[in-house]
Chains A and B, each alone.
Chain A
């Protein structure tokens, strides 16, 4: 699976939107972009995934650049419960089905 680059940490205030960036310049045509998050003392949790078009679900939105070399996870109104480490992961269509987590972005949310 291709590599991703994320900032180590970001800060936000409660009820403000948060944009978490991810660079993946070596993405291949069949790679999907997945986001997971891990709250303190819990297992990782799936957030969203997409291929080319922007995606929305009840947790977040995923904006994918036209050249697919970067993407942004958008939390529309951050809450204290959104404080977590967010991982951007590329998944190809061959090989092991393991998830390869990088170091992710630690999101701090202030009241």
Chain B
């Protein structure tokens, strides 16, 4: 089974802190994704990576950056955390070999981040 793990299930940080969220997948997937999920807004894509050191902005990249130095690891960085970044953060990965219409994404358990 594909396994996507995230470094923390719950995290509490203060406004202005730099926050690192780590995601690791064990299936040699090409693609990795960071989403955030908020009530009433569904899942929104923050960043996407299709290869090591490659990244693409999603729908809401402002206030975030990412790093993918190794294929299995994709990090989300909040440069200066703000209260409006309180959310559930979900990492996902997918093969990326097939077309977008058949690609299946596998999600981690999520990190619930609270910024005070």
A residues near B (Cβ < 8 Å) are 30-32, 34, 41-46, 49, 91-103
Are B101 and A98 in touch, CB under 8 angstroms?
no
> A91 and B107 in contact (CB under 8 A), knowing A44-B90, A98-B48?
no
> A46 and B48 in contact (CB under 8 A), knowing A98-B33, A102-B42?
no
From B48, B103, B108, contact of A91 by CB (8 A): B103
**Secondary structure at chain A's binding surface: helix, strand, loop or mixed?**
loop
Chain B interface size, as a band, is 20 to 34
Are B100 and A93 in touch, CB under 8 angstroms?
yes
> A49 and B104 in contact (CB under 8 A), knowing A43-B92, A101-B43?
yes
A-B contacts, 30 listed (Cβ < 8 Å): A31-B101, A32-B101, A32-B102, A42-B110, A43-B4, A43-B91, A43-B107, A44-B105, A45-B107, A46-B105, A49-B102, A49-B104, A91-B102, A91-B103, A93-B100, A93-B101, A94-B100, A96-B48, A96-B58, A97-B48, A97-B50, A97-B94, A97-B96, A97-B100, A97-B103, A98-B45, A98-B59, A99-B43, A99-B92, A100-B42
Are A46 and B101 in touch, CB under 8 angstroms?
no
Residue numbers in A under 8 Å from B35 (CB-CB): 98-99
Task: Tell yes or no: B106 within 8 A of A by CB.
Answer: yes
Residue numbers in A under 8 Å from B56 (CB-CB): 96
In the assembled complex, how far is the CB of residue B43 from the closest CB belonging to chain A, in whole angstroms?
A: 5
A18 to B94, CA, bound (A): 29
